[in-house]
Amino acid sequence: MDFAALKVGYVARRNALFASPRFQYWAARLPLIRWIAKSRARGAFDMLAGFAYAQTLRAYVESGIFEVLGEGPVTTAQVAERLDLSVEAAACLLRAGRALMLSEEARPDGWMLGEQGAVIAANPGVQAMVRHHRLLYADLADPMALLRQDRREPTHLSRFWTYAGALHGAGERGRDTAEYSQLMAASQHFVADEVLASVSFRDVRRLLDVGGGHGAFLGAIGSAFPHLALGLFDLPEVAAKGAEILGEKLETSRITAHGGNFFADPIPTGFDMVSLVRILHDHDDAPAQALLANIHKSLAPGARLLIAEPMARVPGAEAMGEAFFGLYLWAMGSGRARSPKEIIAMLHAAGFSRARFVATAQPVNTSIIIAHR
C-alpha cells in the first residue's frame, strides 16, 4: 500500500474542504467542531497579527514602562508623563499590553504589571533578546528579498554576530558587545536549566564544552555538580577569558582552558562527556557533520556527546524550530534547525554507536540528544 499517495490524497481533500466557505460557515456553528474552528481562526489571526504583538512587547521593553507599572497602580496620565507620550498614546499602549497580559488595570485607571509583564520585567535576559530582535525584523522587512539573496551577503544579523562576536572574543566593550554578552548569558541560562532538569551528571567525571564561549553553561552545570572537572574549548582568546570568568565562580583547580578551532584542530581528549550547546544549528550540513566526526575521534569508547539546542519538528515547539529559527538562521547566513531524527542520523554517520532524544519540559528553550561513542 502506498501510504505516501494516500496522505497526498487526504491532504488535498482536507484542504479543499477547509477552503470551502460553506464548510467554514457550518463549522463555526456545529457544537462538536465549533471549538476546533475557533482555535484555527484564532491561530490564523495570531499569524496575521504576530508582528504587532512583538512590537508591542518591544515598546514595553524599550520605553521603560515595566518600571513605571512596577510602581503601580499608576494612572494613564502618569504613564504618559513618564514615557513622554500623549495621554491618548499611553492609553493605546496600555490597552495593547493588557490584551497580551503585559499590563493590567487593577482598578479604574489604575495600571499595574500583568502576569506576563511581571515575568518579563524581572528577567533582563528576556528583555535583551527582545531588543536584539530588532535586527531580525529589519532583515525580514522584505522576506522574499532575504530568501532570494546569496546567503553570503551581509545582513543586520550577520553583521551583528560577526562584529560583536569578534570584539567580545578580544575583550572589547561597547553597546554591541554588551548586548552580545547579555544574549549569551540569557540564552545559555535557559538551556542550562533545561539540561539540569533532564540530565544527571552524577556519573560524569570530566565535562568538556566545545564552543563554550565565556563559560555560562559550564558555570551552571559545575555549580550544580561540584565533583565535575570542567574543560572549555573555544578560540584561544575566548577560552582564556572564559576560564578566567569561571574561576571567579568556581574553584580554578576544576577548570582547564583549551584554545583552538573546533573544525581544524583536534578536540581535547580525556573527557567522558563533551557538550555542544547551541552550536550545531549555527552551521550548514557539511561543517556540522565534520564537527561531529572531529568530536567522535576525541572520545574514548563509552564516552558521550550531549547536544542541546532548539530543534525542528519537536512536539510543542514546531513553530519555534522551523518558522522562527528557520528564518533567523537564514538571516544569519549559516546553519538551520534540524529535527532530532536528522541529528541522530548525522551522529550515526559520524561513527557514534547509538543516540537518543531526551524530551525537555520547555522545548522552546532547548531539546537534548545524548550520543555514545
Q: What is the pLDDT of residue 25?
A: 62
Residue-by-residue DSSP string for 233-302? EESHHHHHHHHHHHHHHS-GGGEEEEES-TTTSPPP-S-SEEEEES-GGGS-HHHHHHHHHHHHHHPPTT
Report strand pairing: 273-277 vs 304-309. parallel
* Rounded distance between C-alpha atoms, residue 103 and residue 97, angstroms: 5
Q: Is 221 exposed, middle or buried (0-12, 13-18, 19+ CB in 10 A)?
A: buried
Q: What is the pLDDT of residue 189?
A: 83
My answer on whether 104 and 157 are in the same domain is no
CATH number assigned to the domain comprising residue 202: 3.40.50.150
My answer on whether 259 and 114 are in the same domain is no
Taking 50 as the threshold, does the pLDDT of residue 76 lie above it?
yes
Please give the average per-residue pLDDT across 246-258, as a whole number. 94
Residue 130 counted as domain residue: no
pLDDT digits (tens, 9 = 90+) for 289-327: 999 999 999 999 999 999 999 999 999 899 999 999 999
Residue 132 counted as domain residue: no
Taking 70 as the threshold, does the pLDDT of residue 354 lie above it?
yes
* Rounded distance between C-alpha atoms, residue 367 and residue 300, angstroms: 25
pLDDT digits (tens, 9 = 90+) for 184-199: 766 788 899 999 999 9
Tell me the Ramachandran region of residue 42: left when phi exceeds 0, alpha when psi lies from -120 to 50, beta otherwise: alpha
My answer on whether 108 and 144 are in the same domain is no
E strands of the chain, at which residues?
103-107, 110-113, 206-210, 229-234, 255-259, 273-277, 304-309, 354-358, 367-372
Residue 41 counted as domain residue: yes
Q: What is the pLDDT of residue 272?
A: 96
Taking 70 as the threshold, does the pLDDT of residue 81 lie above it?
yes
My answer on whether 95 and 144 are in the same domain is no
Q: How many residues does the chain have?
A: 373
Please give the average per-residue pLDDT across 64-84, as a whole number. 96
At residue 27 the predicted structure's pLDDT band, cuts being 50, 70 and 90, is: low
* Rounded distance between C-alpha atoms, residue 178 and residue 194, angstroms: 25
Residue 166 counted as domain residue: yes
My answer on whether 331 and 357 are in the same domain is yes
My answer on whether 117 and 146 are in the same domain is no
Taking 60 as the threshold, does the pLDDT of residue 171 lie above it?
no
Q: Is the model more confident about 295 or about 161?
A: 295
SS3 at position 9:
helix
At residue 163 the predicted structure's pLDDT band, cuts being 50, 70 and 90, is: low
My answer on whether 102 and 162 are in the same domain is no
My answer on whether 265 and 332 are in the same domain is yes
My answer on whether 113 and 163 are in the same domain is no
CATH number assigned to the domain comprising residue 61: 1.10.10.10
Residue type, 27: A
Note the pTM of the prediction, 2 decimals.
0.84
Alpha helices in 64-73 (DSSP H): 65-70
Q: What is the pLDDT of residue 173?
A: 42
Q: Is 240 exposed, middle or buried (0-12, 13-18, 19+ CB in 10 A)?
A: middle
Q: Is the model more confident about 25 or about 82?
A: 82
Residue 317 counted as domain residue: yes
Taking 90 as the threshold, does the pLDDT of residue 233 lie above it?
yes
Say if residues 283 and 332 touch (Cβ distance below 8 Å). no
My answer on whether 211 and 289 are in the same domain is yes
Residue 128 counted as domain residue: no
Overall number of domains in the chain = 2
Q: Quick one: angle between helices 124-139 and 325-332, nearest 10?
A: 70
Residue 131 counted as domain residue: no
My answer on whether 190 and 104 are in the same domain is no
At residue 170 the predicted structure's pLDDT band, cuts being 50, 70 and 90, is: very low
Taking 70 as the threshold, does the pLDDT of residue 174 lie above it?
no
Average pLDDT value for the chain: 89
Please give the average per-residue pLDDT across 213-226, as a whole number. 94
My answer on whether 115 and 174 are in the same domain is no
pLDDT digits (tens, 9 = 90+) for 121-155: 998 888 988 999 999 999 999 999 999 999 989 99
* Rounded distance between C-alpha atoms, residue 262 and residue 281, angstroms: 15
Taking 50 as the threshold, does the pLDDT of residue 58 lie above it?
yes
Please give the average per-residue pLDDT across 36-50, as a whole number. 80
Among residues 89, 121, 153, the one where a domain terminates is: 121
Residue 126 counted as domain residue: no
Q: Is the model more confident about 174 or about 362?
A: 362
Task: Name the residue range of residue 353's domain.
Answer: 138-372
